[in-house]
Chain A
């Protein structure tokens, strides 16, 4: 048994590793700029100051990306092509990096592409130092907007037109002579990039090795010592946000799972013993309906009908967990919390309850068909004794295995329930962070839920052996 549990625990490691790589890859593919999110979403595109202001802005951006570790390569290695430089990750702004990748796929000559990119930068900075007056206002604005466009465009027709426009616009005022010469240089750089294209380099695969100083490694090694990092949105440690949310989710699930087992087991046995009677058929139909009722519909109906005065049934509070303060006694706190918990727990319970009792009924029925039950009956044992002493333990096996599959669906179910009833649990937190693209948070929730699921599976496997002595994991 011990060896078996150990083996299973060892299997956790690759599973969690794969899940972590999966979530990490998802977060890398997500749109949006985490650095900007962490900087409070201030827009840095439109600075009206000189180049020094712009540089300060860029510096703040770089500092923040360094603080978040986003200036590192993403993973240990990368399979890419010979045209792509292995330092491309240093372009932290994702839209710009994506555009550079696109240019690489079209032209394949990184030195020239880098030249072109640098010339856009130089033109932009030259423009920032131009003195503003009536002659430079319109044309200056055009140049600035065009620079911003060039960072994100790869289509030859657009780029040529934009550059032509810039060259023409910058020629209009003597104050912009530096800009003009930079724009002309940019045109040359762009033409050089086009004429010296080596797109075939894209077809040569190349493995780039980055070593352990990468984003994934850093995140994982912190994760293993339970340092989950900080949330992008409010800069709070994720650990503290999770530790506030986790108890509610666990409590909700615990109450609901215990309740459904407590009700489902006797109900299943009862209806199996009365098999075929009208009571059994009635219960079976009701349970089947409960099982198929979508949880978010039931929750919406409950909120609509029993939490508002609209239909004269304002029985329960609608949202949240209620207000609790220090002056309230234990009983009052309990009553306040309980009144808020009744509906969510009901919503979470009825489905699994229905499923469990159906399985329990089936389990009991199949055990009652066994020969040893007939023998017990033939010996003249009382019906109660046959059921409880001979059939009960064996009929538990199916619903114990279900425990494993119940847990992930309970966690998923709790997510929706928490969102609908506004309970600050893991589901609500994950949902909010997904909306805000706060990926470190999503990450952590995903890993923890996967971990919980794995633990649940393990527990159900162990229970399996406890309930049924015929099952042994030692060989």
Chain B
């Protein structure tokens, strides 16, 4: 059966199959992908790998599942029984207990091993089970636990910021690449109305609703997303008005003449302008205006500064694809433009956008760790690789804090770079057989 698949795979000449075959020949890239899967698993299960609360505990004949229960308490649907609220988990008298592999959370302060306990030095722990394998920091927090939970943060940064960047990048890239400079046509009057109505649309979508939006951010992220969607709906509804009326304007004398909008020029200039601002400085000054530091906001802002690369890439690919025969064929068949963009041109250009996503994740993780290294934008209680690394400054004896978190950043960034390289090579038409 497996053999059959293999033969079928060899004959498969779709673009994605060819790319996959080429990619699989690139050993470093394939290995990176495997390591990445491991890192992702660690990131997803961090709470279960490193946690101060035991999986299972039996105290005075009663059984508890503190680790799972912790989620319920955090969500507000459960409460700690009185004998377990505000306890030091490691100091309870258990009859039976099953600990997580690393029995420390990021916030667990081990007072017996504070002030930088070295991984190789004498540690004040009851048994090897409780050893701090990668040492502790000044407060006695376990470095290994921080590393594991930092993985979750890094993965989230990569995924969230690149999703934001992808959304923006695909939107602008597709607009610029598909329409170019002479394909978006509208009557003069529509263009004028569009320019006039745009501020008005923003006024009704965001200006009037600004307090509703900011207040909902205080309640919950879902309430905010709901309000945001509503705002976007208002925005697009208002913008749609003149464009729907376009066909009626055509009969007008001067104002009804069709002109083309230079979409490509406008978007390319926008990208050029954004790219001429040093991203770290831009990021720093945006983050500085936020009252309450939050990882989520940092991730979204990183996404907002990183979309230009994707847009540029996609634009280039689309400009190339646009003049190919199958697009002309689709146009000749009378398909609407959105269908040609979404169904025909995007899928072909997307494979190459993967390259820039891969490199983009690397740089997003790097940017976030630079920020938390500088102690900006991320709340102080949030443990990230960058914030751990920053603890090493000025404490030369704690080499383990200087080495391990930085190494984690390095490995993750390298992996994404290698995957990006692998994709670049796999998509290179010169290497295709």
Residues of A within 8 A of B (CB): 14-15, 18-19, 22-23, 26, 29-31, 79-81, 102, 105, 202-203, 205, 288-289, 291-294, 296-297, 300-301, 303-305, 307-308, 310-311, 408-409, 411-412, 415-416, 419-420, 430-431, 434, 437, 442, 445-446, 449-450, 453-454, 457
Contact = CB atoms under 8 A, between A and B. Distances in A.
A416 B211 contact: no
Contact of A416 (B275, B374, B406, B414): B374
5 A-B pairs with the lowest CB-CB distances in the bound complex, closest first: A297-B406, A308-B396, A412-B280, A292-B414, A310-B396
Contacts of B399: 304-305, 311
A454 B406 contact: no
Given A202-B208, A203-B208, A408-B275, A292 B417 contact: yes
A305 to B, nearest CB: 7
A473 to B, nearest CB: 17
Contact of A303 (B211, B276, B289, B393): B393
Nearest to A434: B288
A300 B393 contact: yes
> Interface centre among A304, A434, A446, by most B CB within 10 Å?
A304
Contact of B396 (A102, A203, A304, A431): A304
Q: Give chain A's interface secondary structure class.
A: helix
Interface residues of B, number: 49
Interface in B392-410: 392-393, 396-397, 399, 402-403, 406-407, 409-410
Given A31-B291, A304-B392, A296 B208 contact: no
A307 B392 CA distance: 14
A411 B281 CA distance: 9
A442 B285 contact: yes
B375 to A, nearest CB: 10
The SS class assigned to the B binding surface is helix
Contacts of B204: 203, 205
A408 B278 contact: yes
A248 to B, nearest CB: 16
Nearest to B291: A31
Contact of A304 (B200, B273, B402, B409): B402
B397 A310 contact: yes
Contacts of A430: 281, 284
Given A289-B414, A434-B288, A411 B278 contact: yes
Nearest to B210: A105
Given A296-B389, A300-B406, A454-B276, A26 B289 contact: yes
A19 B409 contact: no
Given A15-B272, A409-B278, 15 more contacts: A19-B276, A26-B286, A81-B208, A291-B417, A292-B362, A292-B410, A294-B369, A300-B392, A304-B392, A311-B396, A408-B278, A412-B280, A412-B281, A415-B278, A416-B370
A29 B289 contact: yes
A301 B417 contact: no
B373 interface: yes
A31 B199 contact: no
B379 interface: no
A453 B403 CA distance: 34
Nearest to B403: A301
Most buried by B among A18, A202, A292, A416: A292
Contacts of A294: 366, 369-370, 406, 409-410, 413
B277 A453 contact: yes
B207 interface: yes
A453 B273 CA distance: 10
Interface in B369-428: 369-370, 373-374, 376, 386, 389, 392-393, 396-397, 399, 402-403, 406-407, 409-410, 413-414, 417-418
Contact of A26 (B269, B285, B373, B406): B285
Interface string B292-313: 0000000000000000000000
Contacts of A431: 284, 374
Nearest to B211: A105
23 contacts: A31-B291, A79-B203, A205-B207, A289-B414, A292-B362, A292-B414, A296-B386, A297-B406, A297-B409, A300-B389, A300-B406, A304-B392, A311-B396, A311-B399, A416-B374, A430-B281, A431-B284, A446-B278, A446-B281, A446-B285, A449-B281, A450-B276, A453-B277
Contacts of B280: 412, 415-416
Contacts of A291: 417
B182 interface: no
Interface string B205-216: 001101100000
Contacts of B286: 26
Given A15-B273, A303-B393, A453-B278, A205 B203 contact: yes
**Listed residue (B289, B291, B373) with the most chain A CB atoms within 10 angstroms of its CB:** B289
Contacts of B285: 23, 26, 434, 442, 446
Contacts of A409: 278
Nearest to A28: B289
B402 A300 contact: yes
B392 A408 contact: no
A55 B292 CA distance: 33
Contacts of B376: 434
A309 to B, nearest CB: 8
Contact of B273 (A18, A307, A311): A18
Contacts of A29: 289
Contacts of A450: 276-278
Contacts of B410: 292-294, 297
B389 A79 contact: no
A179 to B, nearest CB: 33
Nearest to A106: B211
Nearest to B418: A288
B219 to A, nearest CB: 15
B193 to A, nearest CB: 15
B10 interface: no
Contact of A31 (B273, B279, B281, B289): B289
Contacts of B281: 411-412, 415, 430, 445-446, 449
A411 B279 CA distance: 10
A293 B281 CA distance: 21
Interface in B87-135: none
Contacts of B278: 408-409, 411-412, 415, 446, 449-450, 453
A30 B287 CA distance: 10
Interface string B128-167: 0000000000000000000000000000000000000000
